[in-house]
Amino acid sequence: MAEDVFKALADPTRRRILDELVERDGQTLFEICGRLAMKHGLGLSRQAVSQHLAVLESAGLVRTRREGRYKYHDLDTAPLEHIATRWLRPHPSESTP
């Protein structure tokens, strides 16, 4: 799973998508495309952004939910927290007896 997260984070466009979801969670594909174009000058097709979202969802970084005819994308930081705690927990040689 960690490999999927690193692969997803390796792409700058996917990191920008995550930045946008941090700023405002629960966006539709149309909203994400608009924000990428306006704030970052990225003129990506909806298909391209949808493919990036699929990679992020596969890595567990984005969750989707449907409400009526709309599909909303939400950030899920659990995979990042898991990776961070993997290296941040104290080593046995550093703990006090």
Domains with residue ranges and CATH for the chain: 2-86 (1.10.10.10)
C-alpha 97/C-alpha 93 separation (Å) is 10
- Average pLDDT per run of 10 along the chain, which is 97 residues long? 89 97 96 95 95 97 96 95 80 59
E strand segments, 1-97 = 62-67, 70-75
Q: How would you classify residue 45: left for phi > 0, otherwise alpha for psi between -120 and 50, otherwise beta?
A: beta
pTM comes to 0.84
Find the distance separating the first CA and the last CA of the chain, reported in whole Å: 34
| CA-wise closest residue to 33 among 47, 21, 49 | 49
* pLDDT value, residue 83: 85
What is the reported pLDDT for 36? 96
pLDDT value of residue 94? 58
What is the model's pLDDT at position 84? Answer: 84
